[in-house]
Homo-oligomer: A and B are copies of this chain.
């Protein structure tokens, strides 16, 4: 009889631990979002930084990574970006911006042309996939 009590307890504790693990993944206090930017359109860039501001206002602890590849790299190019003050401000609040090295190669752009706040990934598209595999939500920037 005692065994049944203990086993019931074990199942109860086990399911409790499992539930806790699951809720960690979707914890409302720790949003994680990967944003994919492929557009060179400066209007898309302006809308995106505004949305990032809104998102941080609503969820100050959100972990945000913006993957810039293809035309989207232009938001990180010192001479082309029209939202640099906003990028610096967002970066100061923890938003990570990364440039795709494949895009750099293909478009013959050197890292010296990229804003110093930017990080780098080898393949932008793979980064977006890896983050989703790690449970991050996905947002595609664009119109």
Contacts and interface: CB of A to CB of B under 8 A. Distances in A.
Interface of A: 2-4, 6-7, 9-11, 13-15, 17-18, 21-22, 25-26, 28, 31, 33, 36, 38-39, 41, 47, 50-51, 54-55, 57-59, 62, 69-71, 102, 106, 122-123, 125-126, 128-130, 132-135, 137-140, 142-143
Main secondary structure of the interface of A (DSSP, over half): helix
Contacts of A50: 106
A129 B139 contact: yes
Nearest to A133: B26
B26 A134 contact: yes
A50 B125 CA distance: 11
A52 to B, nearest CB: 8
A33 B129 contact: yes
Contacts of A130: 28, 31
